[in-house]
Chain A
Amino acid sequence: MNERKAKQPFHFYTKLNLLQYTGKKAKNLEELLKLIKEVPESSIYHHTHNFLFTSNWVIPPPASDFAYWVREVLQEKTLAEALNGIDIPGLTSIPALREEIISVIEQYLTAHEAVRRREAPPGEDFFFTEAVTFILPTRYVANNLVEFAELLEQVSVSSVYFHVFDARLRLQRAENDFSFWIRDSIGDTELADKISSVDPYFYTLEELRKWIIKTVREKIGRMG
C-alpha cells in the first residue's frame, strides 16, 4: 500500500514573503487595539505567524508579534499570556482570529483601565507590517507516500509553512494540504486524521517537518 500511486501527485510549492510597512504604528494598548481593527487581514496574519518563519530553530519558539510586544515592551505579562493562549488552530479564518485578539485586549482593558495609554519607551512602538506573498512551484512532485516523505526532507521550511499554515487559515481550506492529499489521493484516512489533528503552533517548522516525516514513515513501516 505504501508504494501505491496517488490518484493525483502532490506538487510542493513554496511561499516567499517580502515585508511591507503599512505605515501604521502603535505606542500603547489603546492604539494597538484601534489599529488591529483597521489593518488589512494580511497584517493580522503576518503578526500572528511571522515568528514561525523568522524564529525557525529558535528554542523555545517565541510568541506572536502582538504577545511579544505586549510582554517585553509594555510589560503586560498577563495580557501577553492571554494573547498567546488564543487557540489559532480552532479558528477558521483571519477575521475570526482578529475578533478573538480584539476581544482578549478589550477584556483586559476593561479590567485594567490604567494601562490603556501606558506608552512604550521611545523607539519601541509596534510597527504594523504585512507580507507581499509569492507562491512559486518547486521541482518536487510526490507520487506515493514513500516519495512524499523523501521529498518532505528536501523542500524548504517555507514550503512546509505554506502547505500547513497557509492552507488552513489564509486560504481557508478545511485541513492542511498534506492531510488533504493523503486523505483524497492516497486514501489513508487514519494517517490523514493524525496529520490533520496536529497543533503546528507548538513546533518550530523544522520540528514540524520531522514530526510529519516520522508519522508518515511509521505508517509506511506498519504497512510493510
Chain B
Amino acid sequence: MANLEKYEPIVGSYVMEELYTIAENLKGKIIQNVNSTAVGGGVAEILSRMIPLLRALGIEAHWDVIKGGERFFEATKRFHNALHNETTNPLQDDFAVFLDNTDENLRDMKLYGDVLFVHDPQPVALVKVKEALKSRWAWRCHIDLSAPNERVWNFIKGFVEHYDAAVFTSPAFAQDLPLPRFIIMPSIDPLSEKNKKLSSKFVDSFLEKHELNPEKPIITQISRFDYLKDPFGALEVYRDVKRRVDCQLTLAGGGAADDPEGAKVLAEVSEKAENDRDIHILTNLSDLEINALQRASSIILQMSLKEGFGLTVTEALWKGKPVLARPVGGIPLQIKHGYSGILCHSIPGFSQWVRRLLVNKEYAKRIGINAREYVRSNFLITRHLKDYMLLFLFLLETG
C-alpha cells in the first residue's frame, strides 16, 4: 500500500484532505485501467505509481493489460509513429491485425469496471462492447496528436467517438472530437529518485566524481543526444556566456548504445566541445545522479526544437532552478515567462538571459522559488491524482 502521508509535508494537509474528500465520492465504484504493457514506457510508469495511490485513497482501482503478439505490436508501433508524424505509413494489413487482436482480447478479458480508463491507441477498440456493459469509458491519449497521419487517426477516431470523454496532455495535442476533451497534464513524483531531496554531501560527491567545480556556475541541459534537443545550441550559448562570465556547461543524456543516431550526435557534440575542460558530457547517469546534477546547477537549459510535455523541465523547476527553454510542446504550460522561468526563441536570447541570471542572483533566486511553487501547485502527482478522480466523478455523475 502506498504511503500517502509522505506527501503531506510537501503539498500541505489541505491538499491531502481534498483528495480524501473526492475519493469519498468514488467509494464503491470500480475504476479499471487498461493499457498494452505492464512494464516499460511512460504509461506503465504512471500507472504503477497511480494505482497504489488511488487504492490508498480507498478507491477500487485496477489495472489490466491487453495481450498481443509480435505482429500486433509491430502494427501499433507503426500506428504510434504515424500519429506522431504524418510521413509514417502503416502497412495495409496492420488495420486487420489490430482488429483481430482486439476481438481476441474481448474474448479473453473481463471488463468489469464502472469506469473503463483506456490508455493510448492499442486497446482503444475495446470500446466496441461498451453498449452491452453500461459502463462509462474514457480514452486517455498520452501522445501528441497535433499533426497525425490522417488515415491512421481516422481509423482510431472511429473508436474514440464511442467514448464518453477523451483526455489529452495539452490542448495543443488534441484533435476535434464530438465528446468532452479534458486536459490532464502529466506530473512528477516528488518522492522518486529523480526528485527527492538529497543531502549536500551526496551532491558534493557527485560533483567531485565528475570533476565539476562547485565554485563555478554550472549551466546544464539534460536530454538524450538528438538533433531535436539542440545540444549544439547549448554549446553556442555556453561559449557566448563564457566570454563575459566564467562558467561550466554540462550536457547529460541517456546512453547511446542502442541508438545509432544518438551515438552520432554524441560524437559530434564531443568533437565540438574541443577538449574544453569546462564542458562536461555525461552519459548513463542514474536517476539520483541526474537529481544531484540539477540541484548543483545554476541554470538549466532545455533548448529542444520539438518536445512532448517536457517532464525534464518539470523536474528542473521543482529543484527551484531558473529554467530557460524554447516554447515548444508542453513547455509553455510550465514556464510562465518571467515568473516561473524564461522562454527564449534564439541563441542570442538564451545567452543574454543566462548572463543576466548569473549576474542578478536575486532575480534568479526569485524565479527559482516561483518555479518550485508553480510545480507544487500544478505538476505534482497529487494534482494528477485529483484530476483523475474528478474525471471519474464527471463520468459517473453524467452517466
Q: Do the beta carbons of A19 and B183 come within 8 Å of each other?
A: yes
Within 8 A of B (CB), among A12-53: 14, 16-21, 23, 25, 53
- Which listed residue, B15, B22, B328, B393, touches A123 by the CB 8 Å rule? B328
Interface residues on A, range: 35 or more
Closest A residue to B171 using CB positions = A127
A130-165 near B? 1/0 per residue, CB < 8 Å: 001010101000000000000000111111000000
What is the total of A-B residue contacts with beta carbons within 8 Å?
Answer: 101
Which A residues touch B377, using CB under 8 A? 53-57
B8-24 near A? 1/0 per residue, CB < 8 Å: 00001111011001100
Which B residues touch A81, using CB under 8 A? none
Within 8 A of A (CB), among B305-349: 327-329, 332, 336-340, 343, 345
Which of A58, A68, A158, A159 has the most chain B CB atoms inside 10 A of its CB? A58
- Which listed residue, A14, A16, A55, A154, touches B339 by the CB 8 Å rule? A55
Closest B residue to A53 using CB positions = B377
Q: Do the beta carbons of B172 and A156 come within 8 Å of each other?
A: no
Which A residues touch B338, using CB under 8 A? 72
B151-182 near A? 1/0 per residue, CB < 8 Å: 00000000000000000100110101000111
Closest approach, in angstroms, between the C-beta of B83 and any C-beta of chain A? 18
Closest A residue to B377 using CB positions = A56
Q: Do the beta carbons of B345 and A121 come within 8 Å of each other?
A: yes
A154 to B25, CA, bound (A): 21
A68 to B184, CA, bound (A): 21
- Which listed residue, B14, B183, B332, touches A154 by the CB 8 Å rule? B14
Closest B residue to A132 using CB positions = B394
Q: Do the beta carbons of B327 and A123 come within 8 Å of each other?
A: yes
* Interface flag for A89 (CB, 8 Å): no
Q: Do the beta carbons of B21 and A14 come within 8 Å of each other?
A: yes
* Interface flag for B194 (CB, 8 Å): no
Which B residues touch A136, using CB under 8 A? 21-22, 25
Q: Do the beta carbons of B171 and A55 come within 8 Å of each other?
A: no
Q: Do the beta carbons of B183 and A20 come within 8 Å of each other?
A: yes
A136 to B376, CA, bound (A): 22
Q: Do the beta carbons of B171 and A21 come within 8 Å of each other?
A: yes
Which A residues touch B239, using CB under 8 A? none
Which B residues touch A129, using CB under 8 A? 171, 183
Closest approach, in angstroms, between the C-beta of A69 and any C-beta of chain B? 10
Closest approach, in angstroms, between the C-beta of A191 and any C-beta of chain B? 24
Which B residues touch A17, using CB under 8 A? 390
Closest approach, in angstroms, between the C-beta of A141 and any C-beta of chain B? 14
Q: A129-B171, A156-B14 are known contacts; what are 6 more A-B pairs with Cβ within 8 Å?
A: A55-B336, A57-B373, A58-B370, A59-B370, A138-B21, A154-B13
- Nearest 6 CB-CB pairs, A to B? A127-B171, A57-B373, A156-B14, A18-B390, A19-B183, A21-B171
**A-B CB contact pairs (8 Å), 30 listed:** A14-B18, A16-B386, A18-B387, A18-B390, A18-B391, A19-B184, A23-B176, A54-B378, A55-B340, A55-B377, A56-B373, A57-B370, A58-B336, A58-B340, A60-B339, A62-B336, A62-B339, A68-B336, A123-B327, A123-B328, A123-B332, A127-B172, A132-B180, A132-B394, A134-B22, A134-B393, A134-B394, A136-B22, A156-B14, A156-B18
